[in-house]
């Protein structure tokens, strides 16, 4: 027989969006339950590069788009959290790099004159030379230019773990939560294997899984889009740390490299950018061959001997836009007694929480329920880092 748990807010999906929001709402006194059908962070979040963007990569054409404006405050908000003075206490969570960089391999910089002339970017992009250069570029063979961005790179699995720790007893594991539709089209309850959950508001933050939750609830809107990537992973003991967008001739980075710790002490270079976008439909072997050629051309002094290679196909899930373009900000849309959300960027999780909290205030949803007893319920695990999953 199923029993009913009453809560103020029921969140579906425990990626960065759901977990961040859960932590914020609990601080505000709301009782919350978060249902995760797999591993916490195991969707896009732990597969992300962990760059807390300040919008620079969206301004490579010299214009500061609304995406760049919305995201501009995010590095400072995350830094405050990581210092223990922000809205969520992430003190002690590993920062992989205090800076992300832009690197131009040669004379291409002239194509980006508008970008460097842009007033809006002043103070956010600074050329580094000599001793300030990251170790990987400190080679006589390097002829390009390097710019330091006001952006940082975080260890996402560690953030997910901290947010799970802050969630107390609010996390529930269920492999197939079902949204029960009421006669008026709203959500009556979330049906789990042995329990029903009733809430004042339901937040759909299940990443790619939000589409099937909406289908389950018989809601056609808002529509979702997937933008596929095939990331390339290179693992080796001697890889130097590299956190940088490599500039190409288009307004998108030719390649974006981040470096992540594997549990055996080795390092993994995680290659994204245009390489992964254009590589989405390529056979893994072809894409690996291309990535090897690119790295050999761009960083010929770095030895890749003895490294292991693989690829990871993954979709970015976002609200549908015309022409599969990138949405500009975190997305939150009220639908009956639910809010449907996609952060569109890991960095924008705080912005998504702001929007949800503003909606709850506007709809006069205040904390009412006491925390339900979930001590008997299964808890979701935190996902293993993707570099360990991909190189078992
Ligand atoms: C390769 C890659 C690199 C990226 N790099 C960056 C970056 O460097 N910086 C940045 O800001 N952004 C980056 N992004 C984007 C960022 O990762 C995503 O925008 C963000 O992680 C999405 O978080 P989310 O919580 O919405 O979704 P997810 O992390 O996908 O989490 C959704 C969760 O919901 C669960 N779920 C699914 N269906 C259900 C269901 N029916 N019931 C309950 N739970 C369910 C899933 O198991 C999952 O845990 C990257 C994305 C990709 C793919």
Pocket residue to mutate for ligand 1, from 97, 206, 228, 311, most atoms within 8 A of Cβ? 206
Give me the pLDDT at residue 352, please. 97
- CA-209 nearest atom, ligand 1: 38
- Please state the separation of Cα 107 from the chain's center in Å: 32
Residues 360 and 381 reside in one and the same domain: yes
174/304 same-domain check? no
Asked if 259 and 95 count as a contact pair (C-beta separation under 8 A), the reply is no
For 323, residues 6+ apart whose C-beta sits below 8 A from its C-beta are none
Last-in-domain residue among 316, 335, 363? 316
* 101, containing H or E segment: strand 100-104
Confidence at residue 139, expressed as pLDDT on a 0 to 100 scale: 92
CA 338 – ligand 1 centroid, Å: 19
What does DSSP say about strands 195-204 and 338-342: parallel, antiparallel, or unpaired?
parallel
Is 211 domain-assigned? yes
Separation of CA 144 and ligand 1 centre (Å): 34
Residue 62 lies in a domain: no
Consecutive H or E run containing 331? strand 331-335
Where a domain ends, among 250, 284, 316? 316
Instruction: Name every protein residue with a CB atom under 6 angstroms from any ligand 1 atom.
Output: 12-18, 35-38, 42-45, 47-51, 53, 177, 205-209, 213, 229, 231, 272, 314, 316, 342-347
Enumerate the β-bridge partners of residue 217. Answer: none
Terminal C-alpha separation, the chain: 41
The count of domains in the chain is 2
The CA-CA-CA angle for residues 367, 33, 177, to 5°, reads 135
Host domain of residue 263: 96-152+227-316
- Both 148 and 232 in a single domain? yes
88 three-class SS: coil
Going by their DSSP bridges, the two strands 3-12 and 32-36 should be labelled as parallel
What is the predicted pLDDT for the residue at 62?
61
Percent of all residues in the chain with a pLDDT value above 90, rounded to a whole number = 81
Rg (CA), the chain: 22
C-beta neighbour count of 173 within 10 angstroms: 18
- Domain assignment present for residue 89? The answer is no
274 with 204, same domain: the answer is no
Q: Check residue 324 and give its pLDDT.
A: 66
Q: What share of the chain is helix, strand, coil (3-state, %, to 5)?
A: 30, 30, 40
Q: Which residues of the chain have pLDDT under 70?
A: 1, 57-68, 107-123, 324-325, 327
In a domain, 30, yes or no: yes
Residues 283 and 168 in one domain: no
Q: Is the dihedral of CA 146, 147, 148, 152 positive or negative?
A: negative
Spatial distance between the Cα atoms of 157 and 206, rounded to a whole number of angstroms? 17
The rounded Å distance from CA 47 to ligand 1 centre is 8
In the block, residue with structure tokens 């001793």: 131
Q: 331 forms bridges with which residues in the sheet?
A: 342
Tell me, yes or no, whether 201 and 249 share the same domain: no
309 and 243 part of one domain? yes
| Angle between the N-to-C axes of helices 16-27 and 156-166, in degrees from 0 to 180, rounded to the nearest 10 | 40
State how far the Cα of 128 lies from the Cα of 333, in Å rounded to an integer.
42
Nearest residue to 337 via CA among 207, 171, 219, 211: 219
Per-residue pLDDT, 126: 85
Pair 301, 231 in one domain: yes
Hunting for tokens 């529930």 — which residue is that? 172
Q: How far is the CA of 245 from the centre of ligand 1 (A)?
A: 21
> Measured in angstroms, how far is the CA atom of residue 42 from the centroid of ligand 1?
8
Q: Is residue 262 part of a domain?
A: yes
From the number of C-beta atoms within 10 Å of its C-beta (0-12, 13-18, 19+), residue 1 rates as exposed
In a shared domain, residues 247 and 306: yes
Give yes or no for a cis peptide into 222 (omega within 30° of 0).
yes
State the CATH number of the domain containing residue 281. Answer: 3.30.9
103 CA to centre of ligand 1 in angstroms: 27
- Ligand 1 atom nearest the C-alpha of 205 is 26
What is the number of the ligand 1 atom nearest to the C-alpha of 38?
A: 47
Query: How many Å lie between the centroid of ligand 1 and the Cα of residue 52?
Result: 14
Three-state secondary structure along 163-213?
HHHHCCCCEEECCCCEEEECCCCCEEEEECCCEEEEEEEEEECCHHHHHHH
Atom of ligand 1 nearest to the CA of 210: 38
Domain boundary among 291, 316, 341: 316
Q: Is residue 202 part of a domain?
A: yes
Q: Are residues 238 and 119 in the same domain?
A: yes
Q: Tell me, what CATH number does 175's domain have?
A: 3.50.50.60
Report the atom number in ligand 1 closest to the C-alpha of 35: 43
Atom 3 (ligand 1) nearest CA: 48
Q: Which residue owns the Cα nearest ligand 1 atom 38?
A: 209
Do 168 and 215 lie in a common domain? yes
pTM: 0.95
Residues 137 and 203 in one domain: no
In a domain, residue 362? The reply is: yes
Residue 208 Cα to ligand 1 middle (Å): 7
The predicted structure's pLDDT at residue 110: 46
Q: In this structure, is residue 82 part of a structural domain?
A: no
């Amino acid at each position: 027989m199923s029993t009913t748990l009453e809560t103020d807010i029921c969140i579906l999906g425990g990626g960065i969006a759901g977990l961040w929001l859960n932590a914020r709402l609990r601080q505000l006194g709301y009782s919350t339950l978060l249902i995760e059908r797999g591993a916490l962070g195991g969707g896009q979040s732990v597969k992300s590069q962990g760059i807390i963007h300040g919008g620079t990569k969206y301004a490579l054409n010299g214009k500061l788009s609304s995406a760049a404006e919305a995201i501009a405050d995010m590095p400072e908000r995350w830094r405050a959290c990581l210092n223990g003075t922000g809205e969520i206490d992430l003190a002690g969570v590993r920062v992989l790099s205090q800076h992300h960089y832009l690197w131009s391999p040669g004379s291409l910089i002239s194509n980006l004159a508008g970008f460097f002339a842009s007033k809006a970017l002043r103070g956010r992009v600074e050329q580094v030379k000599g001793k300030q250069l990251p170790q990987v570029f400190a080679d006589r063979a390097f002829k390009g230019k390097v710019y330091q961005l006001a952006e940082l790179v975080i260890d996402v699995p560690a953030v997910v773990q901290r947010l799970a720790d802050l969630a107390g007893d609010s996390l529930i594991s269920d492999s197939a939560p079902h949204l029960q539709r009421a006669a008026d089209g709203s959500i009556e309850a979330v049906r789990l294997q042995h329990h029903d959950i009733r809430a004042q508001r339901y937040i759909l933050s299940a990443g790619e899984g939000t589409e099937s939750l909406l289908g389950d609830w018989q809601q056609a809107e808002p529509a979702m889009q997937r933008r596929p990537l095939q990331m390339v992973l290179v693992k080796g003991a001697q890889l130097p740390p590299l956190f940088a967008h490599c500039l190409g001739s288009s307004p998108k980075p030719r390649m974006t490299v981040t470096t992540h710790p594997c549990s055996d002490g080795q390092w993994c270079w995680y290659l994204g950018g245009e390489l992964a976008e254009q590589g989405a439909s390529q056979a893994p072997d072809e894409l690996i061959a291309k990535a090897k050629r690119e790295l050999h051309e761009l960083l010929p002094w770095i030895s890749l001997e003895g490294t292991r290679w693989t690829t990871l196909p993954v979709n970015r899930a976002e609200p549908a836009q015309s022409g599969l373009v990138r949405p500009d900000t975190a997305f939150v849309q009220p639908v009956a007694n639910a809010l449907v959300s996609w952060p569109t960027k890991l960095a924008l999780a705080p912005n998504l929480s702001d929007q949800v909290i503003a909606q709850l205030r506007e709809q006069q949803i205040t904390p009412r329920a006491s925390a339900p007893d979930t001590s008997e319920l299964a808890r979701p695990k935190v996902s293993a880092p993707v570099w360990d999953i991909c190189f078992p």
